Chains A and B, each alone.
Chain A
Amino acid sequence: DAGVTQSPTHLIKTRGQQVTLRCSPISGHKSVSWYQQVLGQGPQFIFQYYEKEERGRGNFPDRFSARQFPNYSSELNVNALLLGDSALYLCASSLDSPVSGNTIYFGEGSWLTVV
C-alpha cells in the first residue's frame, strides 16, 4: 500500500513566482494536512482539509492557499514567493475526521527553494 505521495520532490522558484504542490493521501484517507518545515525547525501547521472543506488554518499569510479534490487529493498554492518560503512542505493524511486521536501519516515532502 502506497503511503502519502507528494510531488514534485524538489523545485526551485524565483521570488515573486507562484508554486503548486500536490499530495495524494493514503487510499481511504479523507483528511489532508499541510505543514511547512524550515531548516532546523519542527513542522509548522498550515492547513487541514476534511471532505473537501477547510477545517483548520495555521498562522500563515493569505499568499498560502489550498484545496482538496473529490478524490481527496490536495494542492497547496503559494503566491508571490519570498525567500523565506524556502522549506520542506509536508503533506499528511489521516483516516477520518480531524479530531485528536487519529494517527497522522506524513509524506516525504516537497523541497522548495526560492532564489
Chain B
Amino acid sequence: AQRVTQPEKLLSVFKGAPVELKCNYSYSGSPELFWYVQYSRQRLQLLLRHISRESIKGFTADLNKGETSFHLKKPFAQEEDSAMYYCALSGGGSQGNLIFGKGTKLSVKP
C-alpha cells in the first residue's frame, strides 16, 4: 500500500540549531517525493521536490531509495521556519495525485 509516514507530530528546536524532519514512504514503484509547508494562516504550498534537487529557504531533502526516506534538513533553523510540514508522494502515471503524511509541526524557539 502507498503510505507516507512522518513519525514526529511536533519538533521543537532553538534558533540556530539543526533541523531534521523525518519522512518515510512505502511505494512499489518510483515515486516522486515532495515537502509541503503551511505557515500560520497561510495556504499549503510546495517547499521542494526531490526531482529538482534544489535548496529552498536553506532546506534540502535527499531521496534515499534504500531506506525509503526523504528527510527534510536545515543546518540552522530560523524562527520564521516555524510551520506545519507535510511530506507527500506522487505515484506518477496519469493521476498525479498526492499522498500526504500526517505532518510535523516545527517550532523554532528564540
Give me the interface of A with B, judged by CB distance under 8 Å: 3-4, 31, 33, 35, 40-45, 48, 55-56, 58, 90, 94, 97-109
Instruction: Give the dominant DSSP class at B's interface.
Output: loop
For chains A and B in complex, what number of residue pairs have CB atoms within 8 angstroms? Answer: 68
Contact yes or no, A43 B95, CB < 8 A: no
For B45, what are the chain A residues with a Cβ–Cβ distance below 8 Å? Answer: 105-106
Question: A35 vs B100: C-alpha distance in the bound complex, in angstroms?
Answer: 10
Contacts A40-B102, A105-B45, A109-B43 aside, 17 further interface pairs with beta carbons under 8 A come to: A31-B96, A33-B97, A35-B98, A42-B4, A42-B88, A43-B44, A43-B100, A55-B94, A56-B94, A98-B94, A98-B96, A99-B92, A101-B32, A101-B96, A104-B46, A106-B43, A106-B44
B70 sits at the interface (CB 8 A): no
Question: A29 vs B46: C-alpha distance in the bound complex, in angstroms?
Answer: 17
Contact of B43 among A40, A41, A100, A107 (CB under 8 A): A107
Contact yes or no, B96 A100, CB < 8 A: yes
Contact yes or no, A3 B43, CB < 8 A: yes
Within 22-76 of B, Cβ neighbours of A (below 8 Å) are at: 32, 43-46, 51
A selection of 15 A-B contacts at a CB cut-off of 8 Å is A4-B43, A40-B102, A42-B88, A42-B100, A42-B101, A42-B102, A56-B97, A90-B44, A98-B97, A101-B96, A102-B96, A103-B46, A106-B43, A106-B44, A107-B43
- Interface size class, chain B: 20 to 34
Contact of A101 among B51, B98, B101 (CB under 8 A): B51
For A98, what are the chain B residues with a Cβ–Cβ distance below 8 Å? Answer: 94-97
For B103, what are the chain A residues with a Cβ–Cβ distance below 8 Å? Answer: 41-42
Question: A99 vs B44: C-alpha distance in the bound complex, in angstroms?
Answer: 20
Question: A26 vs B4: C-alpha distance in the bound complex, in angstroms?
Answer: 28
For A3, what are the chain B residues with a Cβ–Cβ distance below 8 Å? Answer: 43
Q: Which residue of B lies closest to A47 (CB)?
A: B97
Q: Mark B77-95, 1 if CB is under 8 A from A, else 0.
A: 0000000001010111111
Q: Which residue of A lies closest to B97 (CB)?
A: A45
Q: Which residue of A lies closest to B90 (CB)?
A: A100
Contact yes or no, B92 A100, CB < 8 A: yes
> How far in angstroms is the closest Cβ of chain A from B61?
16
